Amino acid sequence: MRIVVLHKWAPDPQEATVGADGSVDFSRAKAAVSDYDAVAIQCGRQLADAAGAALVGVSVGGEAAARPVATKSALARGLDEVVVVSDPELEEAGSARTAQAIAAAVAALGDVGLVLAGDSSVDVGARMVPAVVAGRLGWPVLADVDSVALAGGSVAVERLAPEGVQSISAALPVVIALTSEAVKTKAPGMKDVLGAGKKPVTVKSLADLGLTALSEGAVTSRAKLGGPARKGVVIDTSDPAAAAAELVDALRAAGALA
């Protein structure tokens, strides 16, 4: 059996800047394996070791996704091999397009029992890709999962629901999106770094996978977002008790208190 981990080579949104015209500039942002995907890779490694499965990374993106530094960064975290769908068409792909490419790559691999994903990508954070991948594969998806265990042909997961900790069991194959609770990530060690370049990498284009275009709408406008106008009332705090009383009065007047 293969266990697939979805991972994204994503720029750090902390470094993104927004122009006055609403264009988002990531050119100064350093790319890395998206934070939560590191959780999925490490969790996948543990599951694959326990089940004797191969751990395959699947990544989708533009030209940068297939750069050796991108694939080695993911491999150093514990994957056995990586399949990258890299295509200029995927440069700013949304969840639907991304999922289409991932699902095709997973289907092409064959013998996949489990697809693991992180909670969300650091740069977009839509949290929709695992669900659309599952839809395309016709498999169930479980998101917000805090722990996973494989047992024979099924998977047992736990997640936090409003009513408490929910246990769910699902027959394989299944797609699972993990929270950062699933495992505490560890930085790759020096041997992992040196070994990463020796592992297999397969790069495919959309044409290789026989995928046709999928419309994600046409951008008609962009704008920089300003927050709602705030009152900006500065409360004198030289006497904390008086400041607190003043604030409570203001909140009560605004109907913000219970």
Partner 1 sequence: MSTYVLVAGNAGVSKLVAAAVELGGPVVAVVVGGADLAQAAAAPGVDRVVWLGEPGGKAAEAFAADVAKLVAADPGTVLAGRGPAERALLGAVAAAIAAPVVTAPVEIAPGQVTRGLVGGLALETRRYDGPVAIAADGGAPLAGGGGATVEQVSANPAAVEVTGLRPGRAAADLGSAARVVAVGRGLKAQADLPVIEALAAALKAELGCSRPLAEGLDWLPRDRYIGISGQQISPRLYLAVGISGQLQHMAGCRDSQLVVSINTDPDAPIASQSDYILTGDLYALAPALTAALG
Partner 2 sequence: MPFQLTDEQVLTRDSVREFAEAEIAPIAAEIDQNHRPPLESIGKLAEAGLLGMLIPEEYGGAGLDALSYAIAIEELSRVCATHGVLVEAHSSLCTWAIAHHGTEDQKRKYLPDLASGEAVGAFGLTEPNAGSDASSLATTAVRDSDEFVLNGQKIFITNGGFAKTFVIMARSTDAPGVKGISAFIVERGRPGFEILEPERKMGIRGSSTTPLAFTGCRIPAANLLGQEGAGFKIAMQILDGGRTGIAAQAVGIAQGAFEAACKYAKERVQFGRPIAALQAIQWLIADMAVDIAAGRALVYRAADLESRGEPHGQAAAMAKLFCGEMATRVTGKAIQVHGGVGYTEAYPVERAYRDAKITEIYEGTSEIQRLVIARHYLR
Chain residues binding partner 2 by CB under 8 A are 32, 68-69, 72-73, 76, 186-194, 196-197
Nearer to partner 2, 190 or 256 (CB): 190
Nearer to partner 2, 73 or 86 (CB): 73
CB 35 within 8 A of CB 60: no
Q: How many CB atoms lie within 10 A of CB 195?
A: 14
Judged by beta carbon distances under 5 to 8 A according to partner kind, the member of partner 1, partner 2, none in contact with residue 197 is: partner 2
163: left (phi over 0), alpha (psi -120 to 50) or beta: alpha
Shortest distance, position 130 Cβ to partner 1, whole Å: 7
Tokens encoding 94: 């949304």
Shortest distance, position 75 Cβ to partner 2, whole Å: 10
Please report where in the chains the tokens 């590191």 appear, as a residue.
38
Judged by beta carbon distances under 5 to 8 A according to partner kind, the member of partner 2, partner 1, none in contact with residue 189 is: partner 2
Nearer to partner 2, 198 or 253 (CB): 198
Shortest distance, position 67 Cβ to partner 2, whole Å: 8
d(CA 65, CA 10) in angstroms, rounded, equals 8
Nearer to partner 2, 142 or 183 (CB): 183
d(CA 214, CA 227) in angstroms, rounded, equals 33
> Pseudo-torsion of CA 124, 129, 131, 137, nearest 10°?
180
Nearer to partner 1, 54 or 168 (CB): 168
Shortest distance, position 232 Cβ to partner 2, whole Å: 15
d(CA 66, CA 212) in angstroms, rounded, equals 21
Judged by beta carbon distances under 5 to 8 A according to partner kind, the member of partner 1, partner 2, none in contact with residue 60 is: none
Nearer to partner 1, 197 or 252 (CB): 252
d(CA 122, CA 134) in angstroms, rounded, equals 21
Shortest distance, position 141 Cβ to partner 2, whole Å: 29
On the 0-12 / 13-18 / 19+ scale of CB atoms within 10 A, 108 is middle
Judged by beta carbon distances under 5 to 8 A according to partner kind, the member of partner 2, partner 1, none in contact with residue 14 is: partner 1
Judged by beta carbon distances under 5 to 8 A according to partner kind, the member of partner 1, partner 2, none in contact with residue 188 is: partner 2
d(CA 130, CA 119) in angstroms, rounded, equals 9
Tokens encoding 102: 């991932």
Shortest distance, position 68 Cβ to partner 1, whole Å: 27
